[in-house]
Amino acid sequence: MEDIDAIEQLPGVGPATAEKLIDAGFTDLMSIAVSSPQMLAEMADIGVNSAVKIIAAARKQADIGGFETGDVIMEKRKLVGKVTTGSEALDELMGGGFETQAITELFGEFGSGKTQIGHQIAVNTTKPVEDGGLDATVIFIDTENTFRPERIIQMSEGQGLDPAEVLSKIRVARAFNSHHQMLLAEKAQGVAKEHGVRCLVVDSLTAHFRAEYVGRGALADRQQKLNKHMHDLIRFSDLFNAMVIVTNQVMSKPDAFFGDPTRPIGGHIVGHAATFRIYLRKSKGQKRIARLIDSPNLPEGEAVFSVVEEGVID
C-alpha cells in the first residue's frame, strides 16, 4: 500500500494516471524508475512526455541501488540454499540441488515429469538442512489442478517422513486464470513473511496465459503480463532467499510467433528471467532425461532420473 501511495503522490501523476500505471503492473516506484519512457508510455497508455517526467520523479525517490564489490556479492551467494531433488544425477547436474535466489524453469512435453519434480522439491524443502532440505515452508500455485496431496504423502512415506507434518508445511492455492495467478504470486510475499517460505512452485507458469491470450494480436499483451509476473517471482526469490520453480510446456504445434514447435511458451520473456532452464523428456518407462540448457555457472549436461511411487530417484 505504501508503494501505491507513493505512486499517487508522484508529481505529475493524477488519480487517473495512477490507476493506469497500477493497472499496467507498475505497483512500486522502482518498477517505474527502471522503465524506459517508451515502455511506460505504451504499457500504461500515457504520453511519452508524461512518461519521461514520471520516470524522472520516480528515480529521485526510489533507491536505485549502487554497485557492490564482488566480495559483497560473494557473501550473498554464501546464503544460497540447496534442495536435493531425490536423484543424485539430477542434483549433480544442478551443482548440488536446486538453488535459492534463483528461478528454475522446468520445460518439457506433457508427462515429462515437471509436476512430479515440483511435488518432490516441495517435500524436500520441508526436510532438515542436513538431509538436503531447508527446514522451510513451501507455497505451491497450482494452475492445472494437478497438485495431489496423495503424491505428497507417497513421497513423504518413501523417505520415512511424517506425511501430515510435510503436508502442513505446503500451502497450496489454485489459480483459476492468469490474473488470479499473478495476484497469488503477489500475495505469496505476505505469506512468506509470516511463515518462513523458501520455495515457491508455479505449476504451470504459462498454461493460463497460453489459453487466454490467443492469436497474434494478443501476444504483446501476453508477454507484457508474463514479464510483470516473472519480475514478481524474481523479487520473491531475492526478498526471501527462496527458490522459485516454474513449469512450462513445450508447444505441440508451431506457435504463431515463435514458430519452433519445441520451444517453450513465453519465449524470451520467460527464458531471460529464468536462472536455470531444464528441458525434460520422457525415456523408457519411468525414466526421464533432464538437460540443463542455461545456467550462469554450470556446464550444460544431461542427467537420467526416474519417477516412481516414492517420487524422484536415480
# binding residues, Mg ion (CB under 5 A): 3
Specify the residue, 21 or 173, whose C-beta has the smaller distance to ligand ADP.
173
What is the footprint of Mg ion within residues 216-235 (CB under 5 A)? Answer: none
Contact between 206 and ligand ADP per CB under 6 A: no
246's contact among ligand ADP, Mg ion, none, with CB below 5 to 8 A by partner kind, is: none
Q: Which of 111, 149, 254, 261 binds ligand ADP (CB under 6 A)?
A: 111
The SS3 of residue 27 is coil
What is the grid cell recorded at 133?
Answer: 532440505
Q: How far is the CB of 278 from ligand ADP (least distance, A)?
A: 11
266's contact among ligand ADP, Mg ion, none, with CB below 5 to 8 A by partner kind, is: none
113's contact among Mg ion, ligand ADP, none, with CB below 5 to 8 A by partner kind, is: ligand ADP
Contact between 309 and ligand ADP per CB under 6 A: yes
Q: 209-216 — which CB contacts under 8 Å span 24+ positions? A: 209/178, 209/265, 209/266, 210/249, 210/265, 212/177, 212/178, 213/178, 215/256, 216/256, 216/257
What is the footprint of ligand ADP within residues 140-179 (CB under 6 A)? Answer: 154
Cα 259 to chain centroid distance, Å, stands at: 24
The SS3 of residue 304 is strand
Cα angle value 171/175/178 (rounded, 5°)? 140
309's contact among ligand ADP, Mg ion, none, with CB below 5 to 8 A by partner kind, is: ligand ADP
116's contact among Mg ion, ligand ADP, none, with CB below 5 to 8 A by partner kind, is: ligand ADP
Q: Which of 153, 172, 293, 308 binds ligand ADP (CB under 6 A)?
A: 308
Specify the residue, 24 or 103, whose C-beta has the smaller distance to ligand ADP.
103
Amino acid at 188: A
Q: Which of 43, 188, 307, 312 binds ligand ADP (CB under 6 A)?
A: 307
124's contact among ligand ADP, Mg ion, none, with CB below 5 to 8 A by partner kind, is: none
Q: Which of 31, 115, 120, 178 binds ligand ADP (CB under 6 A)?
A: 115
Q: How far is the CB of 303 from ligand ADP (least distance, A)?
A: 16
Contact between 112 and ligand ADP per CB under 6 A: yes
Query: Which residue is listed with cell 532420473?
Result: 305
Q: Which residue is nearest to ligand ADP (CB)?
A: 115
111's contact among Mg ion, ligand ADP, none, with CB below 5 to 8 A by partner kind, is: ligand ADP
Q: Which of 104, 112, 115, 223 binds Mg ion (CB under 5 A)?
A: 115
DSSP state string for 42-105: HHHT--HHHHHHHHHHHHHHS-------HHHHHHHHHT--EE--S-HHHHHHTTSSEESSEEEE
CA distance 97 to 198: 14
* Strand ranges (E), the chain: 82-83, 98-99, 102-108, 137-142, 170-174, 197-203, 243-249, 276-282, 287-294, 301-308, 311-313
What is the grid cell recorded at 244?
Answer: 522459485
Residues contacting 113, CB < 8 A, separation 6+: 106, 280, 282, 288, 305, 307, 312
Specify the residue, 172 or 308, whose C-beta has the smaller distance to ligand ADP.
308
Site residues (vs ligand ADP, CB under 6 A): 108, 110-116, 154, 307-309
Site residues (vs Mg ion, CB under 5 A): 114-115, 146
